[in-house]
Structure 1
Amino acid sequence: MEGTIRVRRKNAFRKTNEMKVTKNWQKWTFAVSLIGLFIAQWSCAPDPGEALNDRKRRENEEEIKAYIAKNNLNAVKDDVTGVYIVKTKSVPTGQTPVEGDEMRYYFVQQRLDGLVVDSSETAAKIPGIVTIGAPTQGKITARLYNGLQLLKEGEEAIILAPYDPTDNKSGNLLLPAYTPVRYDIKVVSVRTEEEQIQDYLVAKGLTAAEKTTSGLRFLLTQAYPDSALVKVGQTAKIKYKGTLLNGNQFDANSTGADFSVGTGAVIAAWDEALVKMREGEKATIVLPSAIGYGTAGKSPIPPYAPLAFDIEIVSAN
């Protein structure tokens, strides 16, 4: 009996050890599996040293390249802006935009999955407007602005653009943050300041205006030849109205305000125009930004803006 008990105890002990070994093996195998899974995930994870913006930009590039391949597009990457362009209508003789030029255009913005998120009022024939060198004045995104500069007057193109750090990265329901986009663009016109002024003079019937060496257009609309000429150093009381060439009024005084003449107290165009006038006279002047508010502008006058003024000299002394 005692021998039988010892055998049973020995068998029980052996089974217990075998169970412990089995459980330890299972634990070890599970641990190894976890380590393997971690290593696999880590190898596929983004480089922790890569900045978020750089990683998103790289991912956008991959999405755009896949989109180009899928749609068999003959796209060319612009190395300066990083956008991809597919010209669907080329106009080699079209006017190339340079700083200070006004561009009018139509556009449709969509995600790469085809969802349209924004567009100009194409159906109503109201183009978007931007001045090169002053994109914020047109409330235009950096990606659209970069694409426009790659086109000439009359050209049409598809622009594929990764996110731009100067755009709003917060995103929205239609266009989440860091989303690549497609723009379909048609450039209606590219006009220099001089061309804008010429168009305005024709439209307003002011083609008889004198053009001075500074680019000022001066047209006397009410003459008093017997009155005294305004002189440098005098203080002139002036009634005036100032507008952008699109007709938007930015300033006016109908009762008369005092200005020092020829001392730099007013814009250069005024200093030039006032000494060409006499008390009681009226004139219309149209001027380039170089003798107005220049490349910086002055709110609400945008940069590079040609302007028009109606001026009346009430008195000068």
Structure 2
Amino acid sequence: MKKNLMFLGLAALGLASCNGGYKKGDNGMLYNIYTDKSGPKIKEGDFVLTNLVIKNDADSVLLSTYDQGRPTPLILPKPQFKGDVFDAIKLLAEGDSASIKVAADSVFKRAPKPPTFKGKYLIYDLKIVKLIPKGTQTDQVFHDNITKYMTGLATADKNAEPAKIKNYIAENKLTVNKTDSGLYYVITKPGVGPLIAKGDTAVINYTGKLLSGKVFDSSIKEVAVKAKLGSLDQRPYTPIRVAVGERKVIPGWDQGLLLLNKGAKATLVIPSSLAYGAAGAGPIAPYTPITFEVEVVDVVHPKPGAVAAPVKK
């Protein structure tokens, strides 16, 4: 899945105009280099960290690393076909930025075409953030250098997280409460009845966002459609059931739901330590704080004397 997105992303970056300002490369590929730094050009097998926007020639964005909050790391592979985006990347050096247009028909001979895709070209807007040439380094030294660099980025992200949360709260004018664990929350609509307790099942509608405002998941179809989330027809858009306190969801949810009751709505601002941590998940990069808007549709209490079913091994 990620490889397909990256392949599509690198094939779709560029401008929506036809050939204005573009030079013609192999196999009909078009490119326009905006920033041309001196330095070694990227070669197959080099490590590249790239900010990337992928779109069609109607300017409909398919993927953006800016929304995700982290550039994409890549060891440049061999071109999939003559004149593909990987070929075009070899025209660039560290610090360069460019737009690349690749014929959609060439790309989709080798990768599934998204059912909603329209247009003649895939367009890639690229910014080369970092280049680590393979050169004559052994594989071990090369990968050690990549690991050292990426670890430094992760440490910087971790250290920057408190400021990101503080800025988000200020920019959105949220009057938040904070738990001892570091969870921030705002109850936007009070509920009724007792608070949810461990062992209860909470029935929840939710929308998850990055602090940039980019929606990455929602149980509400209208929100998912507006955010152009993938797999729209492959899931039911109904409230989900969460067994609270059983570690089946991220800690920020387990803790935040205990603060709510039936009918309550809240905004949870969750640091990465209570979300996806150092590993990240899908579009959520390592050490990324996230926010959820949640609504407690119902609370189901366990029946008195009920015994939990044994776990099958």
Q: TM-score range by the shorter chain?
A: 0.3 to 0.5
Structure ranking higher in helix proportion: 1
Structure with larger Rg: 1
For normalisation by structure 2, the TM-score amounts to 0.46
Larger RCO, structure (CA 8 Å, separation 6 or more): 2
